[in-house]
Structure 1
Amino acid sequence: MAVADSDEYDDAPGAAGRFDTTLVSSPVRVFGYDELELTFDSHLRPWTGQSATVTVAFDGGEETTLLRYDSTNTANDYDADLANSTEALRFAVPSGVRQAVFRWRLDAPRNSWYWAIDSVAVRTTATATPSLDDATQLWVVSDIQGHPRDFAHGLRDLDAVRPDAAGLLIAGDIVPTGTTAEWRQIDDVVAGATSAGIMPDQLVAAIGNHESYAAASWETLRDRFLDFAGRDKVYGEYVLSGGGGEVPVLVIGQEFPRPPEVGMSDEQVAWLDERLDYWTERKKQVLVIAHFPLGDTVSASWIPWYHESYDRNDELTAMLGDHPNAIFLSGHTHYPFELGDWAVRRRVPGGHPDGFLAINTGAMHIEWDARGESTSSITEVTTRDINRGLTIDVYADRVIIEARDFGLAGPSGDNEVNEVLRHLEVANPLLHGRRR
């Protein structure tokens, strides 16, 4: 990790009150490629008069700017979109050049803020995006929690943009407490969507914490969830098919009464490890869906009360870290898609250098956010009602994820928004590898 910190800079003779530093990469061989992509993890705190730039120069030639953040395109002091984010910068490679050198420059008044980067890689890219007809389309929602009308509204919006979806994935907290009346509300929405001809053929559900808060035994509440999910265990595998071919989806979750939030058997963990290996050997990108995030992945998962939800958090993280083709989908936190860490690559010591991808699935209920940056004094607030989810398009060589805002269901249930807030293209790392 490299940190440029103007806050700790003292004026030196001739410095004119500014902090100006550049990190230069070693040369990277790029000969024979038309296009490549520079990726790195980034945490930038902007400030007035401060600029952060990334450039590339080929064979010792002039620098070309790939990225620039300054007061014209950032929010001073703290910009949530630039905190704990990942930058992916595509660039054309001129014909005949052999090497590229990259530079990260922070130019700032003394006593401004800082820029930290990590996990730098240059990789090949996928070709132009094919037609949606060539994709296996999926819908993803979570944390409905007693908002069946928003759920129904979101399904209509999803059908409007991805009408040929192979499956609906729900990342837990489907009901508020787990009563039979609550499940009946959700069943009615699903039945209504089915009657309207918009429900995908396959429903894939993960168990959340709210499924087991009602006044009944754990076993009774678990079985109500399993009846809805159409399984006899909280974990399982689905293979969904569409224009992009087969898409493996692995579901994991809580098997035992709390605490901890997610108690898992040896059998479930061994099963997950075996199925990840199976699909990795076949060079397939694989979706893993669960309610709780793993520690130190997506937004809020670094906060103490989210960090250790799994009794085997470190074991699961290390396991997934060996599978760069794994995409881990989690709900629970209700944090905004606007944050830089709504999607992150989580790397582990000794694992694959690309780690695994973790994605926040949003919520169809209220939104939460953090206040403060110190782990020891962090607080949370509710910010607003939301209704959000994902579309996932799986192609033969990549996955494209869009984070969407459906808008709240109005009095007539027809308040249309359907706005794309985030667009992420994830090339299959088993097919498109690193250059360095």
Structure 2
Amino acid sequence: MAVADSDEFADRGNAPHDFRTTLSSEEIKVAGESAIELSFDSHYRGWAGQSASVTVEFDGSGEQTEILRYDSSSVEDNYDGSVLNANETIAVDVPAGAKKAVFRWNFQAEANSWYWAIDSVSVRQALPETAEEPTSAWVVSDIQGEPGDLAHAFSDVNEVRPDAAGLLMVGDIVATGSEAQWAEIDKVMNDAEGILPGTVAAAIGNHESYTGEPWEVLRDRFLSFAERDRVWDEYVLEGAGGEVPVLVLGQESQRPPEVPMSAEQIDWLKERLAHWTKQGKQVLVISHFPLGDTASASWIPWYHNHYEHNDQLTGILGDYPNAVMLNGHTHYPFELGDWATQRRTDGGHPDGFWAVNTGAIQVEWDARGEDTAGISEIVTRNINRGLTVDVYEDRLVIEGRDFGVAGAGGTNDVNSVVRSVTIPNPLAK
């Protein structure tokens, strides 16, 4: 990790913009490439007059081309969640005949401004354009008593992915787990039968068991909806882009912790990840709760250790760069930099695994405060959001979509893409 921190620059007597620093990469071989991608993790805190940039220079020409810039015109001063805990991936065209490239991270600010931290820098071949058709999936979570919004989401996502192979429902499908609430969801599913994908894979959430009835009764209502006999299982989506494995994880007994899991389920996860890795496939892992220190809000204490075996699960997934975990639960904004993160582990694969926040059908939450000791949360607005996933042989593309909510406090009914991330398949030949 490298940190440029003007806040700790002690000499207050210098002229404005007195803190300047540049970090340069080694020379990187680019001969024969027409385009490359620079990827790095970035944590930027802005201030008036402060700026940061990334430039590239080819073959020692002395000409530096700016490929990324943060300043007061592009980043909100003092605090902008979109550039905190974020991944930056930048496509760079390589001039004909160029042999080497040098990247530079430049930071300048008045003393006692803020900072920029970077980590996990990599350069790779750019993915070529593809004309292939993908295998697609719809992803929703955290409906929690809003069946009307769920029906609306189905209608919107069908407009953009009518040939999707699967619907992934990532927990908190109902508000408390009552029979009446499941009946409402069943009606939405039945009414949408003509447009729903052929495969529905559901994960259990915490809101499935809040009526006060015995855990076994509430679990079995979920299992009846999911049409299986255990909380974890495997699905294989079939589409134009080939097979897409989906591994579903979940709690097996009454809380606490939120996600008690047996050794059998963990061993099954390891075996299925190994199996699909041998096939060269990217694997979707869906589980309602985030693992600690992955996607949005998972650094907050009450989200950080929901899993009984949090560290073990993180370590297992860290060995599989083809694994992509989708989690709900937090209701946090797609606009945050850490809505999609690349989580690396000690001793794991250098690329780690990806974790992506699914958004929520119900309402949006966000954090207030900047340290774990004093953090709090608030409900910010009514929303209706989910994901589409498009899987190709050499990549998958995830779009965070806003389906829109009518009424006060809602968003416009725009069926728009808020964020997207392309995750290369490291196993593709």
Measured against the shorter chain, the TM-score band is: over 0.9
1:23 aligns with 2:34: no
How far did residue 14 of structure 1 move? 6.8
Alignment of 1:112-151 (within 5 A): 112-130=113-131, 134-151=133-150
Where in structure 2 are there 5+ consecutive unaligned residues? none
How far did residue 8 of structure 1 move? 1.0
Residue of structure 2 in register with 1:276 after alignment:
273
Q: Per-residue displacement from partner, 1:154-197 (whole Å, max 9, x unpaired)? A: 00001011100111100000001111111000000000000xx1
DSSP-derived class of the 1:200 partner:
coil
Residue of structure 1 in register with 2:75 after alignment:
74
Cα pair 2:17 2:108 within 8 Å, conserved? no
Distance in 1 of aligned mates of 2:14 and 2:97 = 41
Residue of structure 2 in register with 1:289 after alignment:
286
How far did residue 16 of structure 1 move? 5.3
Residue of structure 1 in register with 2:153 after alignment:
154
Residue of structure 1 in register with 2:190 after alignment:
191
How far did residue 96 of structure 1 move? 2.1
Distance in 2 of aligned mates of 1:129 and 1:384 = 38
Where in structure 1 are there 5+ consecutive unaligned residues? none
1:252 aligns with 2:249: yes
Residue of structure 2 in register with 1:431 after alignment:
428
Cα pair 1:39 1:86 within 8 Å, conserved? yes
1:400 aligns with 2:397: yes
Distance in 2 of aligned mates of 1:349 and 1:277 = 19
How far did residue 30 of structure 1 move? 1.4
Residue of structure 2 in register with 1:2 after alignment:
2
How far did residue 17 of structure 1 move? 5.2
Distance in 1 of aligned mates of 2:4 and 2:314 = 29
TM-score, length of structure 1 as denominator length: 0.95
How far did residue 93 of structure 1 move? 1.4
DSSP-derived class of the 1:377 partner:
coil
Equivalent residue letter for 1:281: K
Residue of structure 1 in register with 2:32 after alignment:
32
DSSP-derived class of the 1:178 partner:
coil
Distance in 1 of aligned mates of 2:370 and 2:407 = 36
Equivalent residue letter for 1:41: D
Equivalent residue letter for 1:40: F
Residue of structure 1 in register with 2:305 after alignment:
308
Q: Identity of paired residues, percent?
A: 61
Alignment of 1:287-436 (within 5 A): 287-409=284-406, 416-431=413-428
Distance in 2 of aligned mates of 1:54 and 1:16 = 22
Equivalent residue letter for 2:210: Y
Residue of structure 2 in register with 1:92 after alignment:
93
Distance in 1 of aligned mates of 2:198 and 2:406 = 24
DSSP-derived class of the 2:127 partner:
coil
Which range is displaced more, 242-251 or 10-19? 10-19
Match of 1:230 among 227, 240, 246: 227
4+ residue stretches of structure 1 with deviation over 4 A? 12-17
TM-score, length of structure 2 as denominator length: 0.97
DSSP-derived class of the 2:192 partner:
helix
Residue of structure 1 in register with 2:169 after alignment:
170
How far did residue 15 of structure 1 move? 5.8
Distance in 1 of aligned mates of 2:106 and 2:171 = 43
Equivalent residue letter for 1:30: V
Distance in 2 of aligned mates of 1:253 and 1:319 = 16
Distance in 2 of aligned mates of 1:64 and 1:391 = 34
Cα pair 2:16 2:111 within 8 Å, conserved? no
Distance in 1 of aligned mates of 2:100 and 2:30 = 5
Distance in 1 of aligned mates of 2:231 and 2:109 = 52
DSSP-derived class of the 1:263 partner:
coil
Over aligned residues, Cα RMSD in angstroms? Answer: 1.6
Cα pair 1:18 1:110 within 8 Å, conserved? yes
CA gap of 1:24–1:145, structure 2 versus 1, over 3 A, is same
Residue of structure 2 in register with 1:265 after alignment:
262
Cα pair 1:43 1:117 within 8 Å, conserved? yes
Distance in 1 of aligned mates of 2:134 and 2:16 = 55
Cα pair 1:150 1:409 within 8 Å, conserved? no
Distance in 2 of aligned mates of 1:429 and 1:153 = 36
Equivalent residue letter for 1:84: N
